[in-house]
Structure 1
């Protein structure tokens, strides 16, 4: 593991992407920033963070796609890596809100953004961006956000948490390359699985139950007629 520390950058994912294009990097090179001025989440959403208070990191995994049949299995492995580290820090009620928001109770504590980079030799590298709220105390206008500090009442060493996540991630990716899919574990942590919930599709609300996520990463919801429908990212919203 090689860690490159930055005071600030617009996006750790973009910084690592540019760096990997311009020079040869070791596998599991990490960009760790105190501040990110233009952080991104899934589907163009933003990720904001108080300077120096949270974990803002991106990690490079080289040539991993050639051995993975389904990209969403990697997504599962990454989400579970964060969950496992949080549980090692004695957090309870941790869940994965599809596709890869990490929840502590009913509040978001971390987000993940995975991007593919195709190199000139047609090999594919993966860049994983992780934003984890660590020592931030206040989340103005973000009532659904929380942090390790809010949850545990104490501060944490951000770089140590970074190292723990990468170590667990390396182990999980090794399992992935040995054809372990992580579907069973992912489903065990899936937020609101088997709980009646309100969803919205095309501005129409309906009651349904999350029954799982398929190998393509689509959310499987059973409606009131017992029909199970697979939804892609942004096709459906979980309201409550």
Structure 2
């Protein structure tokens, strides 16, 4: 494992993408920064973080003969690995908010951004970026955000947290490499936030939908049992879970 530590960078994902555009990095090459000036989340959102308080990192994972249609399993692996690592630090009530936000006691503590590397029409690997709120105490205008420290009252060693996450990534990617798709999907669905509970969704046309999350498809679309008693399938751009 090769770890690059930086004081400040625009984005750890962007840094790894730059490396990959020249030569593919070694498997599990890690870039970690004390400060990200242009950290990104899903759908182009900005990731806000206090300098030096949190863990902002990206990991390059190489894939061989990987089928593009299975790429959501990468998201499952990352979500489950982060949750399993955080369990080891006794972070309470961990859940995965579809597709890969990590919540504790219904507060967001980690966001994930996965960008795939495709060369010559072949899936080469993934750049897995994650921002984990570790020791930050204040979140201005972010009432649904929290941190490991706020949730437990403990100040954590960020290097130790990173080490535990990287170990769990290796464990779960091994399952993926061995094509244990059913195992990953079952564990992921069991961890889904608000699964089997009546929930409210905002649709892309701003309409409000009431339904119950049933799980996900093989490609990561959300399965929702709706008021008219049919299961509807939504992708990330079509529905947002309100909570």
The whole-number CA distance in structure 1 between the counterparts of 2:157 and 2:120 is 38
Q: What are structure 2's unaligned runs of at least 5 residues?
A: none
TM-score, normalising length: structure 2: 0.94
Moved more, 2-11 or 196-205: 196-205
8 A Cα contact 2:67 2:123, kept in partner: no
Q: Please list, as runs of the form range in 1=range in 2, the aligned pairs for 1:36-51 lying within 5 A after superposition.
A: 36-51=36-51
In the TM superposition, residue 67 of structure 1 has moved relative to its aligned partner by: 5.8
The whole-number CA distance in structure 1 between the counterparts of 2:236 and 2:64 is 23
1:225 is matched with 228
**CA deviation map 1:26-81 (0-9, x unaligned):** 21000000000101111111101000100000000012562675111111011000
1:81 is matched with 81
1:114 is matched with 114
**CA deviation map 1:179-232 (0-9, x unaligned):** 112110001110000110111222111211111111111001111121110000
Selected match of 1:192 from 188, 191, 194: 194
Q: Secondary structure at the match of 1:233?
A: coil
In the TM superposition, residue 120 of structure 1 has moved relative to its aligned partner by: 5.4
8 A Cα contact 2:116 2:123, kept in partner: no
Superposition RMSD on alpha carbons, in Å? 1.5
**CA deviation map 1:148-204 (0-9, x unaligned):** 010010111111111111111011111111111211000111000011011122211
The whole-number CA distance in structure 2 between the counterparts of 1:127 and 1:16 is 7
**CA deviation map 1:130-154 (0-9, x unaligned):** 1000000110111110000100101
8 A Cα contact 1:114 1:129, kept in partner: yes
8 A Cα contact 1:200 1:239, kept in partner: yes
8 A Cα contact 1:68 1:176, kept in partner: no
Selected match of 1:235 from 211, 232, 238: 238
TM-score, normalising length: structure 1: 0.96
2:62 is matched with 62
Q: Relative to structure 1, is the Cα distance of residues 89 and 176 closer, same or farther in structure 2, using a 3 angstrom cutoff?
A: same
1:213 is matched with 216
Q: Secondary structure at the match of 1:18?
A: helix
